[in-house]
Amino acid sequence: MKALIAIGIIFCCLVGCSSNAQVTNDKEMGENIQESFAKKGVSSVDVSKLSDFKWEKGYLFTNKSKKADVERLVNAPISEEVMKKISSANQMLVFVHEGEVVRYVELPQDFIAHDKNQLEFSFSHSELKFNKNREGKPIKVGDKTLSSEDSLTVESIMKQIQWKKADYSVALDPDVQLTYEGVVYNVRFTSESAELTSKKRGVYGKVTGKTAQQLYDILM
């Protein structure tokens, strides 16, 4: 019980109000989870095999999680600041070691199946199921609308991109045009990357490696 109460206290690490510098958003783990679910035929992911840190217990919260439900799950009071942090992510995985939050992972989509908008799991039972009921936003490539599955993959990639502000009066000569959330992006592929620009937004972004290949396979 004391360990669970400690979770509520250390939870403030998620909003930077603690000196515990070890509590960070594990972006690499988040990307690995997304890449795993993006593979054909994958219905679950064992997060214990994707983590490189010690933990015994984990929690899944979503942007629909209610404060009362979160407090009931961790058996401790949760501040409004923490709830804002949880609500800002589509899904958030929180990992606990010896009663303290040691890492958290933000996911840009509703990837993981859950009951009542939250979930409790452990290191020994760490297989999380893919949410088959999620739906992707309509995304067009030229005049073609992508399937829901492909739209979800592209949406995930778009949210991973570190966009840079730029005043592009002339966008890159594209291989294909992608329409996402009402904005047209010019996409150009090279042997190592995919480069995206939007004249409307005035931004430039780039993905490389497997992510670029994944985008190429869907768009081309």
Residues 158 and 78 in one domain: no
pLDDT score, position 43? 82
Instruction: Decide which of 106, 129, 152 is a domain's last residue.
Output: 129
- Whole-angstrom distance, CA of residue 45 vs CA of residue 33: 7
The residue from 94, 129, 164 where one domain ends is 129
Strand order in the sheet with 140-141: 144-145, 140-141, 176-180, 183-189, 193-198, 203-208, 164-165
* 134 lies in some domain: no
- Sorted by sequence, the CB contacts under 8 Å of residue 121 that are 6+ apart come out as 47, 57, 58, 59, 60, 128
Q: Are residue 9 and residue 117 in the same domain, yes or no?
A: yes
pLDDT score of 170: 53
Q: 99 and 125 share a domain? A: yes
Dihedral in degrees, nearest 10, Cα atoms 39, 149, 65, 74: -10
Task: Find the largest Cα–Cα distance for the chain.
Answer: 61
Q: Is the domain of 53 the same as that of 112?
A: yes
Positive or negative CA dihedral for 140, 92, 62, 89?
negative
Buried/exposed 83-103: b ≥16 CB within 10 Å, e otherwise = bebbeebbbbbbbbeeebbbb
pLDDT in tens, the chain (220 residues): 444 444 444 455 454 444 444 567 788 888 888 888 777 777 888 999 989 989 998 888 888 888 888 888 777 777 787 788 777 777 888 888 887 878 888 887 777 877 776 788 888 888 888 777 666 668 889 888 888 778 878 887 888 888 888 766 555 688 999 998 888 999 999 988 999 998 888 889 899 998 899 899 999 8
In a domain, 135, yes or no: no
Residues 7 and 83 in one domain: yes
Do 104 and 19 share a domain, yes or no? yes
| Range of the structural domain that residue 23 is part of | 2-129
Q: Which of 110, 129, 148 is the last residue of a domain?
A: 129
**Are residues 123 and 146 both part of a single domain?**
no
Same domain, yes or no: 125 and 23: yes
Contact 112, 130 (CB under 8 A): yes
Same domain, 117 and 171: no
The answer to the question of residue 212 being in a domain is yes
Our count of domains for the chain comes to 2
Please check whether residues 99 and 172 belong to one and the same domain. Answer: no
Residues 92 and 178 both lie in one domain:
no
Question: pTM, whole model, 2 decimals?
Answer: 0.60
